[in-house]
Structure 1
Amino acid sequence: MLRAGQARLIEAVAAVTVLVVIFSMIPMLFKTPLTPLRSQIQVDVSQYAYNSLYALVTNPVFIASIQNGNWSELHSLASLIIGPQFNWFIGIEPLYRAYMIGSYRVTGSYVAFNVSITPSPGINGGYALVTIPIYILNQGLPLRYRVNTTVPMANVFITTSNGGPVYWWLQSYDYVTEEAEVWLYVPGGSGRLTFYVSTNSDVPYNPLSGSYCKLAYCPPYGGASTFMADSTGLQPLTYNNGAAVFNTQQGYSTYLGFTTGNINCGGNGYYSIGGYSLTLNVPQGSTEICSIINPGPSGSLVYMVGQLIKAIPGAQFNLNLNYQVTLYSGNAYQQFQVPVTLAFQYGSSTMNMILYINGQKTAALSNINYIYLYSLTISAYSYAIECPGNLVGFNVTVSVNINDYVSRVDRTMTGSYQLPCSLASLQYNPSASTSMNINGATLSLTSPPPSYPNYYYYNTTEVIYDLLFTSPAYSTLIASAYVDYAILYNVVPSQYAYGIGGLRFTPTTGAYTVIVLPNGTYYLIALELQSLSGG
């Protein structure tokens, strides 16, 4: 089915954890004329479609069906509500998969469009991490203008809506889904931004100077991680602007483009630094340890991109983090050091990943195939707890996500640690709270000693491309605009999405809305009706 039309953003969407935009594209678009909003639901001339959709989305069974993935129950409910004179189609799409954008400003050099993001970067120290679906974005741009996907976003410039510069860093790009993970640093914290896409696909147009930039990304305003620069044939020393984006506010973020000025290595193995990346190269019976020089204090989130080149069975790579937890109760406070270690243990062909918190093994992924190229995210949070004797302690929870770039498999594990109440000394207060940040980190690689007959004539080699310490700053777009809605990722299986399966579906009328579930997840809901009487 190919259905085209326009719709209007029903309400400003907040509390979604990614940048959200909607554009016109196949395979399914709504075919309804533009009409005034009716409450939160916009429909065409059919009041029946509106009434049916309203009855669906206000029914607790409908909400529970989405939350639990009980599509047969949803199908039964729709069949009960919608009369037998109609065949019907239901589309349900998580709103983070859609893209909403306002009007364009087109010149011979660029196309510009305005967006707003929430929460405002000012809430997170001027930072925002957004996911931009470049493929969908390009579908909605005029034909002469395309965001570069070979060197992703190489021809994009970003400013605040009043013309101030925005510094941004391409963390990663998925060449399959064509989605970009981008960090924004907005001095002043404005949440209203303007994106400029140049007609020249190789370099951006810089509205601050009124001319094209000489380099892709126009550093230091835009840039790419060491991994992304390496993978696209660019020199990280030129195009990685991580320091300009992250190392601007002490106590919030620290980005390591590895240099002899920010890392100190030693041991009986080998290390090298080149193009901002760190290579550890360790023969049998050797260890190399690299300490991060003054990493913060920085936030509680860690992002790292690494690559295993070769492993001697029995080798181990460790990422060691020292978290400082500050416990507040009334006017008093107490500080604790909580070490966290993520260990990569390499076997002959499989590996284990083990999470230690304060020396205790709290989670593990065992006997998984070697992960050769990966991105790693470690997030941690803490909260106060009440201890016996009217004292206050704390709990720390650490979550690990590792994305295998080769197999495209995500793996996660979570561990927690509770301060022994015997170490608590502050009196409990109902308003007791905690904060935590990273104030130390090391990387280490060890190869086992040789033992007959296991002699290896190669070294264990691990490369670290990027290492970032920061605080979570996920954001989403919020804008009122006339846009084309698209259902691209219907979560309802096809056998339950249609009232009468197998019947050629030609919609007579339709209605759609945005709903939010109790867990804070937003969904775009579409209902289309086909008259079985030919009306």
Structure 2
Amino acid sequence: MEAIIATIIILVLAALMPMLFKSPTTQLPSQVESNLESYAENALSLLINNPQFLSIIQNENWGELDSLMNSIVGPQYDWYVAVIPYGRLLTLSSIVKGSKYVLIPITTVPMWNYSSPIPIPLTDIHVSELTLNVYLLNFLLSTVSPNYFINTTLPLSNVAFIQCANQSLMSNITACIESRQVRMLRWWVTYFDPRTGTAVVWVNATGNMYIVVSANGTLPYNVISGTYCSEPYCFDMGLGGLSNLMNTVYGASYNNEPQFINYVNSNVLSCSISNGVKYGSNYLVELLTNGIYYNVPSSVGCSATVNAPYEPYGYHVYMIGQLITAIPDSFLELTFNNIEVEPYIVYPNGTVNVLSTYQVGSIGVELLYGSNAERMYIIGSSGILNKTMLNQYSYLYLLDLGIEPTISNGVCYLNINVTLYDLVTTSNYNINASVPVGSCSNALGINVTIGGISIAQQSQNPQGNTNYTYNTTTIVYDLWFIGTPTTTQYMPIYVNYEFQRIDALNIIPPNYREKFAINGFSPTASAFAVVQLGNSSYYLVYIGLSSLSR
């Protein structure tokens, strides 16, 4: 039990309830607090971060709640506490039930620049990057269709994604399916975190879509043929799949190498030195550098030449990597090559005229493995553009390098953003920079293209009188590039936070939920958050306060 409680994860579900949550830096004052809403938020923070309270929920020891609350909330306030299984407050509307499937609607919205005479997309209008909490979706499914669930043992293996191809039937997906005007989408699971239930999924569509959850716990349902797919992810149809990282973790072989995100495989990647490179079935490439031992070179590089179209929203390249060992002061680089920028104008008749073409060269990110810490740099043609220190080595990570164009005061710029997601610790590190490219006077917009991407690794050995007898080794599991994806998403999940409903669903017995057990409590201020226990159960925790002073 203590182990479960120790692994409590506090989650504020921003997509479901927009609440700013702040943890106090000092103990709560017990006598006077001028801002009661802030006081309530601080009290809530102290409560849900207290192991005793989490134990109270886990074991339903409600008798301990009174003394705990009185130690947190000052005597000038009447307090009220509610604990509610979160699913009871949620309503998943617009769900569609078929004979062998249920449909969960989801909408992604591309960003546009409407300030220009002609709207310009700021994100890819054809590709979405979805972030789904599978545990929460399963909880919601259990309240409306108890026999349906999204597989988490082989993550999302029994789902598919569809979209109505007929705009006039968008609001009637059943009619769209029955008239065979629906299309099965292609999709790819980048990552699933079993600790939180978070899944990152790429889909080749934006707008209104549906997640098809099959009655079969392993195989997806094909709504067009009316049959189950022969393999998980409809892999036999080339529709869905897993990243190499996920295939490695789950002992599977379902990487569909989706080309709608320009997935890079070993047929496209060319490496300079063969003895510093290994290829594998469940990873793209392994890089080894040393210089003096094991017939391994001091540096190695791999590149892919690409034929990318000019896009107004720029490009991102993503890499899932694993650091195995590092000789101090070794580094790894991920780079965009042969970048071109073209400002343009559009005439009233729709004709596009390119004003000029600027050769930017290369922009990349470098991970430097120092003796005691890891550093991350943005590297441009002129040298280091920005840098940051990581708290520790990131041994398994997703690296995202993005370049996006903008115009300011008649000058073209490339905004560079780098994010490293540590998949082990769930930490993330971000740095950015801006590079002037050239004049953009009178330009309506900017298009960007890239000519290639590359990965390089280098080790300095020996260093002074020290010879390192191990290699710097990095495994690159997955590599892909895409125009800036659409990430804004909506699901029809509604939450009712009305106090009367909270009071009716409160699982704390009436004689323990309030300081003074008097009917008709009316909160003057309140605060709430969602906690997830180690068994993946979600609970809303609510605090209401009412001043006793006149």
Residue in structure 1 matching 2:93, options 102, 121, 124: 102
- The one-letter code sitting in structure 2 at the alignment partner of 1:278 is V
Post-superposition offset of 1:223: 1.3
Counterparts of 2:14 and 2:162, CA distance in 1: 16
Residue in structure 2 matching 1:279, options 262, 267, 286: 286
Alignment correspondent of 2:461 = 449
The worse-fitting range, judged by mean Cα deviation, of 309-318 and 130-139 is 309-318
Post-superposition offset of 1:115: 3.5
- SS of residue matched to 1:227: helix
Residue in structure 2 matching 1:242, options 250, 254, 257: 257
Alignment correspondent of 2:109 = 118
The change in CA–CA distance for 1:307 and 1:143 in structure 2 (over 3 A counts) is same
The question of whether the paired residues in 1 share the 8 Å contact of 2:247 and 2:255 is answered with yes
- The one-letter code sitting in structure 2 at the alignment partner of 1:118 is V
- The one-letter code sitting in structure 1 at the alignment partner of 2:199 is A
Do residues 328 (structure 1) and 341 (structure 2) align? no
Counterparts of 1:178 and 1:415, CA distance in 2: 33
- SS of residue matched to 2:219: coil
State the TM-score, normalized to the length of structure 2. 0.65
Alignment correspondent of 1:47 = none
Alignment correspondent of 1:314 = 329
- SS of residue matched to 1:209: coil
Q: Deviations over 1:349-399 (max 9, x none)?
A: 43222211223212112364221111111222222244xxxxx43222212
The change in CA–CA distance for 1:74 and 1:164 in structure 2 (over 3 A counts) is farther
The question of whether the paired residues in 1 share the 8 Å contact of 2:90 and 2:494 is answered with no
Alignment correspondent of 1:291 = 303
The question of whether the paired residues in 2 share the 8 Å contact of 1:269 and 1:283 is answered with no
Post-superposition offset of 1:195: 2.0
The question of whether the paired residues in 2 share the 8 Å contact of 1:377 and 1:401 is answered with yes
The question of whether the paired residues in 1 share the 8 Å contact of 2:316 and 2:481 is answered with yes
Do residues 149 (structure 1) and 152 (structure 2) align? yes
The change in CA–CA distance for 1:351 and 1:86 in structure 2 (over 3 A counts) is closer
Counterparts of 1:507 and 1:206, CA distance in 2: 53
The question of whether the paired residues in 1 share the 8 Å contact of 2:16 and 2:494 is answered with no
The change in CA–CA distance for 1:242 and 1:507 in structure 2 (over 3 A counts) is farther
Do residues 172 (structure 1) and 191 (structure 2) align? yes
The change in CA–CA distance for 1:20 and 1:205 in structure 2 (over 3 A counts) is farther
Do residues 345 (structure 1) and 351 (structure 2) align? no
- SS of residue matched to 1:242: coil
Counterparts of 1:336 and 1:69, CA distance in 2: 50
Alignment correspondent of 1:463 = 475
The change in CA–CA distance for 1:339 and 1:69 in structure 2 (over 3 A counts) is farther
Counterparts of 2:132 and 2:287, CA distance in 1: 33
Alignment correspondent of 1:28 = none
The question of whether the paired residues in 2 share the 8 Å contact of 1:114 and 1:193 is answered with yes
Post-superposition offset of 1:531: 8.6
- The one-letter code sitting in structure 2 at the alignment partner of 1:358 is S
Residue in structure 1 matching 2:445, options 426, 433, 443: 433
Alignment correspondent of 1:198 = 214
Counterparts of 2:334 and 2:344, CA distance in 1: 29
The change in CA–CA distance for 1:66 and 1:446 in structure 2 (over 3 A counts) is closer
- SS of residue matched to 1:255: coil
Alignment correspondent of 1:159 = 162
Alignment correspondent of 2:47 = none
- SS of residue matched to 1:124: coil
Alignment correspondent of 1:370 = 393
Do residues 409 (structure 1) and 427 (structure 2) align? yes
- The one-letter code sitting in structure 2 at the alignment partner of 1:185 is N
Do residues 270 (structure 1) and 282 (structure 2) align? no
The question of whether the paired residues in 1 share the 8 Å contact of 2:125 and 2:486 is answered with no
Counterparts of 1:274 and 1:309, CA distance in 2: 15
Counterparts of 1:104 and 1:304, CA distance in 2: 35
Cα RMSD between the aligned structures? 4.2
The change in CA–CA distance for 1:529 and 1:231 in structure 2 (over 3 A counts) is closer
- The one-letter code sitting in structure 2 at the alignment partner of 1:408 is T
Counterparts of 2:462 and 2:234, CA distance in 1: 50
Alignment correspondent of 2:244 = 226
The change in CA–CA distance for 1:526 and 1:294 in structure 2 (over 3 A counts) is same
State the TM-score, normalized to the length of structure 1. 0.66
Counterparts of 1:19 and 1:208, CA distance in 2: 35
> Percent identical across equivalent pairs?
25
Aligned length: 416
- SS of residue matched to 2:258: helix
